Structure 1
Amino acid sequence: MLSTKNDFLNKLIDAFIGKGAFILFSLLFSLIATRLYGIETFGEYTFAFTLASILMILSKAGLDNGLIYTMPKTKDKYVSLSLLVNLIFSLLIIIVTFIFVKDNYIRFMLPLIWLLSVEQVFFGIYRAEGKIKEFFLVNGFFSMIIRVCVLLVLYYLYGDSPYVLALSVYFSLIVSNLIYFVQNRSKIKKIEFDFSFISYSLFLVLANLLGVLMGKVDIIMLGILSTKENVGIYQIVVQVTSVVSLILIVFSTVFAPKISEYYHQNNYEGIRKLYVKASRMLSSIGLLITIVLIVFSHFFLGIFGEDATKGSMALIYLSLGQLINISVGSVWTIMAMTGKPKLQLYANIIAFTTNIVLNYIFIPKYGMSGAAFASMITHFITNALGYTAVSKRFNIKAFKLF
């Protein structure tokens, strides 16, 4: 038992360091980009990258979580199938989007859909095997260092074109995916088609797509209903407040495969104990970080330039939304890893619809603060539904009052 706990803790530390490095390098990338290129150019890049990130969710088709759910039983059986389906979906989405989108810069960014999605499929493999450190050494350190260095080199060679930002991301993702492929080439075998695996993954992709859209739709709607400057500032605010959700993201990296393992062993008591301890710990840490971010909001945003401090109110709303998210814990991870992905889909449909309506109402009047307020309310709805579902299914009461 002690060995199991130590192994879980070690993986948690690896995930924290790796994900923390990724976020810090992402902030450094944003800092350099805004200083060298300006908020407006960075906003143009952010809008295109956000669109590619959303479409990436479709192209990965929930295969990363599908692998986490099945690999404890089936090992490498569905790895080749997952990579093939991901490639086919990516090509179809890139082609269709290219036809309908007329903006040349967005078209230039579309191949990122496959590069981002196949990285997530590989991440599912690493998580299922407990090789958290191996993945984040590439994703959180090596790849991000390359991205920042290429950005600086290309700036001094070609000036402040937004295409330089895109090329630096391209280069880092190509290198990192080549490394993932080499490290996992022994798992790529004869393709075995299984409709049950595909259908399970597709429910997850729809749920995850709506989840990501809830986090990205505010940026998309800001780009449509507001200015590119507001998009750039809002992206900085999102990255700063992501420090709150970092703990939950890191925990979920290790939490998901552990829940899958407990579920296949019929160890429901293990699921209950792990979730209760996690929720109480995460809520305490999240509250502390949220207070610091709100109190020193002008300082943190001021690092990115005086214009960025216009997002102080948005930072408060987004921080509170992330606090709600982290306090409830990985409720939807539990449902997905115990064979109930449909419930997350239904909850996300409700929350996503609410988010769009609220953004449409508040962005024209309050700008980025309105988008952040809509995001906060959406977090509350999603997590309240998830907590209710988990509590009823596993008879869990994480907090004394509810």
Structure 2
Amino acid sequence: TTALHTTLYPKISYWGKQNDLVSVERALARAFTYSLLLAVPVVLGGWILGERLLYFFYGEAFSTGAGALAILLLVQVVHVFMFLQTTCLNALDRPRDSFRVTAVAVAANIGLNLYLIPAYGIVGASAATLVTMVLNAALAYYALSRSIRVTIEPRSVGNIVLAALIMAVVLAAYSLVVPLSNVFVVLGAVALGGLVYCLVLLRLDGGIHDELKDLAGKLGLPWPGSL
């Protein structure tokens, strides 16, 4: 998402000056797709393997934070929409709206943390972050939708979700058959999940397949012939 922000900001600013809002709408929708390309499978994979990853990489004490991690992983999906929409607001010369959205979200975050942390600890802090991010994304959508049509690409996003769900089923089956008793088995599960997700997504979505193949060619990277 940060890479897309860096790339799109000057382009959106230029299109805004040219009053070419259709290009802005298309670029934003495509940016949502490519940001979710990584965010969605990381969420589902993290929900399944997060506790084991925390245990092996940080120690037993940290594995109790799996609940907070599950919430924070979901925050990353919402962050995609919040960050790209506020990027558009700023690039379209509407920093005042962006400031108002952020100010309301910050105030809400402070209040939620004061209320939730004493009662629920780190999970409460994570929940406060999630609610704040949803509020921020919703307010940014409201502000931005007054200038452009904010949409996603339903087919591509649907393919991403479907591929991630298939990956999750494979990971769940793997964890049932192979006990996640050491770090190498867990890393094997991560590699398996990533491979399944990539193969399924590239089979489902010809547009993403062709764009990634073209990018690999421009970068001089190998592309499997079977794909």
Quick one: percent identity of the two aligned structures?
A: 24
Residue 258 of structure 1 aligns with which residue? Answer: 11
Residue 292 of structure 1 aligns with which residue? Answer: 45
Note the alpha carbon deviations across 1:138-171, whole angstroms, 9 max, x for none.
Answer: xxxxxxxxxxxxxxxxxxxxxxxxxxxxxxxxxx
Residue 379 of structure 1 aligns with which residue? Answer: 133
Do the aligned residues in 2 keep the contact of 1:282 with 1:329 (CA within 8 Å)? Answer: no
Do the aligned residues in 2 keep the contact of 1:283 with 1:327 (CA within 8 Å)? Answer: no
Specify which of 16, 21, 34 is matched with residue 281 of structure 1: 34
Q: Distance in 2 between matches of 1:282 and 1:363?
A: 30
Asked if 1:271 is matched to 2:24, the reply is yes
Task: Please state whether the residue corresponding to 1:395 is helix, strand or coil.
Answer: coil
Note the alpha carbon deviations across 1:292-351, whole angstroms, 9 max, x for none.
Answer: 111111122120222221211110111112111224660000110111001111112211
Do the aligned residues in 2 keep the contact of 1:283 with 1:328 (CA within 8 Å)? Answer: no
**Displacement after TM superposition at 1:399 (Å):** 5.7
Matches within 5 A, 1:108-119: none
Runs of 5+ unmatched residues, structure 2:
155-227
Segment drifting more, 373-382 vs 302-311: 302-311
Residue 323 of structure 1 aligns with which residue? Answer: 77
Do the aligned residues in 2 keep the contact of 1:279 with 1:329 (CA within 8 Å)? Answer: no
Asked if 1:364 is matched to 2:118, the reply is yes
The residue identity in structure 2 corresponding to 1:262 is W
Q: RMSD between aligned alpha carbons?
A: 1.8
The structure-2 alpha-carbon separation of the partners of 1:341 and 1:260, relative to structure 1 and needing over 3 Å to count, comes to same
* Structure 2 length-normalised TM: 0.62
Segment drifting more, 337-346 vs 261-270: 261-270
Q: Distance in 2 between matches of 1:285 and 1:374?
A: 24
Specify which of 127, 134, 150 is matched with residue 396 of structure 1: 150
* Structure 1 length-normalised TM: 0.36
Residue 314 of structure 1 aligns with which residue? Answer: 68
Do the aligned residues in 1 keep the contact of 2:32 with 2:152 (CA within 8 Å)? Answer: yes
Note the alpha carbon deviations across 1:75-112, whole angstroms, 9 max, x for none.
Answer: xxxxxxxxxxxxxxxxxxxxxxxxxxxxxxxxxxxxxx
Show structure 1 runs of 4+ deviating over 4 A.
Answer: none
**Displacement after TM superposition at 1:377 (Å):** 0.2
Runs of 5+ unmatched residues, structure 1:
1-247
The residue identity in structure 2 corresponding to 1:250 is A
Q: Distance in 2 between matches of 1:272 and 1:394?
A: 7
